[in-house]
Structure 1
Amino acid sequence: MSQQKLKIALIGYGKMGQAIETLAIAKGHEIVLKITIDNAADLTATNLQQCDVAIEFTNPESAVANIKTCIDAGLPVVCGSTGWVASEEAVKAYCTNKQGSLLYASNFSIGVNIFFEINKKLAALMAKQHQYQVSIEEVHHTHKKDAPSGTAISLAQQIIANRTDKHSWTLNETPQPNEIAMVAKRIDPAPGTHFVKYQSSIDDIEIIHTAHSRQGFATGALTAAEFVYNKKGIFTMADVLKDLI
């Protein structure tokens, strides 16, 4: 992983962007561009080309355009915005065609990525145990714009990949037999808690991840930026953390 002192563009300067800035400066990196809703016009190729890497945390409405702008400028981009999954394949194709660099994750926390591995292992163990009904619940702060969270969707996709009886997820209170029931709650000041529960008439099995602050997400995003610097292609946190988990 790069030890280069990076010039970073922060696209989105909310609480997450500010947490990343604090960590980046402490590690000797430089924040040379900060894009907020008030100076969105400064997101130009000329400004981006003064940077080594961009870290994008905005919202589902602007993420795709922001990623493409970075790719067009030849700048590696780390994206933590969620809620734009419908455009994911098109964005990846755009990145490939432009020979760009993109690292997207629904969650950058190292703890959550370990939780993902536990979730996949549990889903494989439960694949033939159809007497258990599986459900997912997530709790976040009221400022989170998408529901369910990208992390919850990733958890559901991992379960679906391991169970022939589940084809999709739903927020409906009365799911179909082939759907995973999902519950999304918005309660301040929760940074993020995810529950995966398997329930039967005999017993329950549950795994839980609880974030106590944004520190874990910010640390992972900065680690991802250090990883993607000077690389070409499409990457995930699995690539970043393959030596750690």
Structure 2
Amino acid sequence: MNARQIAVIGDGKMGKTIADMAKARGWTVTAVLGEKQNAGGRGITRESLKGADVAIEFTEPESAEGNIRACVDAGCPVVVGTTGWYDTLDAITREVKKANGAVLWSANFSIGIQIFLDLARRAGALVADIEGWDAHIVETHHVAKKDAPSGTAIVLEQAAREGLGRKVPITSIRTGAVPGTHKLILDSQAEQLSITHDVRDRAVFAAGALAAADWLVGKHGVFTMRDFLSGVGDS
């Protein structure tokens, strides 16, 4: 991983974790823009980013769209970890491509979740044509998480649906300080199979976001963690 200059958009728990980890890895944090410095996305400019090679955005669903657009306008590639804004993804994609910008978005930056998504597709396909089998997703997060279902649960449902061929219901639970637990349940009358991913430390998201940010520099287009892991766009 190269030593980059990075701007962090969002000064919550994830923003602070990313900034601390970036510094520990020898990166230069050019700016940390919280709500006070970036009301309505108006604080993101070429000047405020201070020459950052790339930005990482972890804020709130209502702020993400404006932050992404501001980064693209400033000519700064941006990795987006905020969820709950995906209804505007198509419009953002068109704008990014028109501006020749670079965005990598993901509902979850852990490597384990990327493996889980692949398993969900395969598991859904295996039981799709077997009578009596069905699927369900249960996701649990801390009480402060605003969006429900989680962005990860949404993409997990999409992956399972690809294989199963029908919609998979999601149950969302908000309790305590749980960083994130996602469970795919495959159920029949006689037996049940569960696949679970538990996050033990938010640092896993920061590590994945930094790896994705390093990869995104010099690229153009809209990417996901699946692209990063498969090397799409690598020369």
Which category of TM-score, normalised to the shorter sequence, fits these structures?
A: over 0.9
Equivalent position of 1:134 in the other structure = 135
Equivalent position of 1:198 in the other structure = 186
Out of 222, 228, 235, the residue aligned to residue 223 of structure 2 is: 235
The answer on 1:58 being equivalent to 2:59 is: yes
Q: Write the deviation string for residues 197-234 of structure 1: whole angstroms up to 9, x where unpaired.
A: 01111111110000011011110001000000111111
Equivalent position of 2:177 in the other structure = 189
The answer on 1:12 being equivalent to 2:28 is: no
Question: Which structure 2 residues correspond to residues 1-245 of structure 1 after superposition, within 5 A?
Answer: 3-40=1-38, 41-48=42-49, 50-164=51-165, 166=166, 168=167, 180-242=168-230
* Alpha-carbon distance in structure 1 between the residues aligned to 2:4 and 2:169: 43
Structure 1 stretches lacking a partner, 5+ long: 169-179
SS state of the match for residue 119, structure 2? helix
Asked if the contact 2:30–2:49 (Cα under 8 Å) also holds between the matched residues in 1, the reply is no
* Alpha-carbon distance in structure 2 between the residues aligned to 1:203 and 1:141: 30
* Alpha-carbon distance in structure 1 between the residues aligned to 2:67 and 2:107: 16
Assess, with a 3 A threshold, how the Cα gap between structure 1 residues 85 and 130 changes in structure 2: closer, same or farther. farther
SS state of the match for residue 62, structure 2? coil
* Alpha-carbon distance in structure 2 between the residues aligned to 1:130 and 1:79: 40
Asked if the contact 2:6–2:28 (Cα under 8 Å) also holds between the matched residues in 1, the reply is yes
Asked if the contact 2:97–2:220 (Cα under 8 Å) also holds between the matched residues in 1, the reply is no
Indicate the larger mover: 152-161 or 45-54: 45-54
Asked if the contact 1:45–1:69 (Cα under 8 Å) also holds between the matched residues in 2, the reply is no
SS state of the match for residue 219, structure 2? coil
1:163 is displaced (CA, Å) by 2.5
**What do you get for the CA RMSD once the two structures are aligned?**
1.3
Asked if the contact 1:136–1:194 (Cα under 8 Å) also holds between the matched residues in 2, the reply is yes
Asked if the contact 2:123–2:163 (Cα under 8 Å) also holds between the matched residues in 1, the reply is no
Asked if the contact 1:141–1:188 (Cα under 8 Å) also holds between the matched residues in 2, the reply is yes
One-letter amino acid matched to 2:48: N
Question: TM-score of the superposition, structure 1-length normalised?
Answer: 0.89
SS state of the match for residue 138, structure 2? strand
Equivalent position of 1:174 in the other structure = none
* Alpha-carbon distance in structure 2 between the residues aligned to 1:13 and 1:119: 33
Aligned residues: 228
* Alpha-carbon distance in structure 2 between the residues aligned to 1:191 and 1:68: 28
Asked if the contact 1:108–1:220 (Cα under 8 Å) also holds between the matched residues in 2, the reply is yes
* Alpha-carbon distance in structure 1 between the residues aligned to 2:98 and 2:56: 21
SS state of the match for residue 78, structure 1? strand
One-letter amino acid matched to 2:86: V
Identity rate, percent: 39
Asked if the contact 1:141–1:190 (Cα under 8 Å) also holds between the matched residues in 2, the reply is yes
Assess, with a 3 A threshold, how the Cα gap between structure 1 residues 57 and 200 changes in structure 2: closer, same or farther. same
